[in-house]
A and B are shown apart, each in its own frame.
Chain A
């Protein structure tokens, strides 16, 4: 009997597909505006509050997720699904994720992402001789 050599690759890089959840989810609509200061992202996540919403940044990928709790009773008419919210965005290097500020009010998430210092538009002074 010949022995086979099994090579196991230890590929630790997290690619985008691996972070995708298997469960059903709802994609919340977002508004994204860019100003000189940075990025402003607003997402509609009704039913979520500070405890149930989770925002994380991993290797340039921003993930917004959370599961809302709905009432009890037999469903007669359903227009929206009650699966959790989940959405990911690829963040360019120009934004500084460590200085991000998030707040949630009335089921709307507002995320401020300031531009990294190096990326801000800068005026270059011209020296006169």
Chain B
């Protein structure tokens, strides 16, 4: 008869649950949801990607003047700051039917999972999408280890 290791089962289940939730934030629970901007979550929303040599940050920044986006890199922290102007309600508005888009100043710091080289960071703003390419330092790139047979 084999002993069923309860503690090991539970820690394995914990690991499985962590794997499901890790890296997906709360977006998973909202599904095909409403991208509400007036809320408690950080703005702008970002998606973080990587490949062997780079980390990519894709931020949703519609309606922001790219010259006015303040971006800084310090160590492995990326900071995005700026302001989104509200619709000029005096000029245009008489009756508001819906007001779902937010406006105002924003500031967000993103801690990157690996060390990057701040001198070679590139950023591109296109159609409201900001794509920042951060090259990893050499030590952070995956290295292939060859196994020698004896």
A residues near B (Cβ < 8 Å) are: 24-36, 39-40, 42, 44-49, 68, 70-83, 104, 106-108
Question: A-B pairs with CB below 8 Å: how many?
Answer: 153
Closest to A48 in B: B127
**Chain A residues with CB below 8 A from B25, complex form:** 77-79
Knowing A26-B33, A78-B25 are in contact, say whether A40-B56 is a contact too (CB < 8 A): no
Contact A33 B95 (CB under 8 A): yes
When chains A and B are docked, how far (Å) is the Cα of A82 from the Cα of B27? Answer: 11
Contact A27 B33 (CB under 8 A): yes
**Chain B residues with CB below 8 A from A28, complex form:** 35
Contact A33 B96 (CB under 8 A): yes
- Which of B60, B65, B94, B98 is A30 in contact with, Cβ under 8 Å? B98
Which of B1-9, B12-20, B47-55, B115-123 faces chain A?
B47-55
B residues near A (Cβ < 8 Å) are: 23-25, 27-28, 31-37, 41-42, 45-51, 54-56, 58, 60-66, 87, 89, 92-102, 113, 125, 127-129, 131
Closest to A27 in B: B34
When chains A and B are docked, how far (Å) is the Cα of A115 from the Cα of B116? Answer: 54
Knowing A34-B95, A71-B58 are in contact, say whether A29-B101 is a contact too (CB < 8 A): yes
**Chain B residues with CB below 8 A from A76, complex form:** 23, 48-50, 55, 113
- Could you list 9 further interchain pairs (A-B, Cβ under 8 angstroms) beyond the known A68-B129, A78-B28? A26-B35, A45-B62, A46-B61, A49-B127, A73-B49, A73-B56, A78-B25, A79-B42, A81-B32
B131 to chain A, nearest CB (A): 6
When chains A and B are docked, how far (Å) is the Cα of A76 from the Cα of B55? Answer: 9
Closest to A79 in B: B45
When chains A and B are docked, how far (Å) is the Cα of A108 from the Cα of B42? Answer: 20
